[in-house]
């Protein structure tokens, strides 16, 4: 079973249904992410996917966002909640379309009144893959009842598409960027989607010793074993090498990320 606080997840499912389930529109709610990939870590979000039977209204998205602002973070674990409309992702097509996104990194915008809008989102490819592999319904049928599998080529394409944006966030979000780059490399080579710490373990065993310290520190911080401190660490060199490895791994089936 996923590493989840069922009281918390039951509350979130009830919240989602209260705002989006006017006529049975919530078809399923599924756990994914760290909880289903080895367990929640100190910095892990609580990741949920909602599958809907029809698109949301602006008012529904606004009210759901307002309530999530009150329950995500603070004394509790941050929530990342994504919704898709079943007919927008099944039959599968690329890029897939996201109906709704709540994440703490967008809190400032939401507090200023921004409301998430539907948009195409390649990152749904690995997310839906994790949901299907985890098979962890919190409400509704098994996810394979509602979702199509993501073709391997589209998974590879999607996880490399965001690499340039990741690099742009290296300074303000060093830990997450290094761990995510390690996971992209691991997935390209092995086809598995590992937890961030497991992907870092995999990558550390393959990096030259002089490039390992920044990634090892990112892993230790993620696990709550060290306090985050990037002073004197060759972060850019480590990130650049990870990107070169990603490009080499992806190059077997197409152009490298960002090219």
3-state secondary structure labels for all residues of the chain: CCCCCHHHHHHHHHHHHHHHCCCCCEEEEEEEHHHHCCCCCCCCCEEEEEEECCCCCHHHHHHHHHHHHHHCCCCCCCEEEEEEEHHHHCCCCCCCEECEEECHHHHHHHHCCCCCCCEECCCHHHHHHHHHHHCCEEECCCHHHCCCCCCHHHHHHHHHHCHHHHHHCCCCCHHHHHHHHHHHHHHHHHCCCCCHHHHHHHHHCCCCHHHHHHHHHHHHHHCCCCCCCCCCCCHHHHHHHHHHHHHHHHCCCCCCCCC
Catalytic site positions: 80
């Amino acid at each position: 079973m996923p590493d989840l606080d069922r009281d918390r997840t039951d509350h979130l499912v009830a919240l989602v249904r209260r705002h989006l389930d006017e006529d049975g529109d919530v078809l399923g709610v599924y756990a994914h992410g760290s909880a289903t990939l080895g367990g929640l870590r100190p910095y892990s979000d609580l990741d949920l996917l909602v599958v809907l039977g029809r698109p949301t209204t602006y008012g529904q998205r606004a009210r759901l966002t307002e309530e999530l602002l009150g329950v995500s973070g603070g004394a509790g674990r941050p929530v990342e909640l994504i919704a898709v409309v079943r007919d927008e992702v099944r039959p599968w097509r690329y890029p897939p379309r996201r109906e709704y996104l709540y994440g703490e990194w967008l809190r400032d915008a939401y507090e200023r009144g921004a409301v998430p809008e539907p948009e195409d989102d390649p990152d749904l490819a690995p997310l839906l893959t994790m949901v299907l592999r985890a098979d962890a319904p919190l409400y509704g049928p098994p996810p394979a009842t509602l979702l199509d599998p993501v073709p391997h080529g589209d998974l590879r394409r999607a996880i490399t598409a965001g690499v340039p944006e990741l690099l742009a966030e290296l300074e303000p979000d060093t830990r997450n960027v290094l761990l995510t780059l390690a996971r992209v490399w691991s997935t390209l080579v092995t086809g598995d989607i590992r937890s961030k710490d497991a992907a870092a373990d995999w990558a550390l065993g393959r990096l030259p010793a002089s490039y390992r310290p920044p990634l090892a520190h990112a892993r230790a911080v993620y696990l709550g074993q060290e306090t985050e401190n990037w002073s004197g660490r060759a972060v850019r060199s480590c990130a650049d090498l990870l990107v070169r490895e990603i490009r080499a791994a992806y190059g077997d089936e197409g152009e490298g990320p960002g090219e």
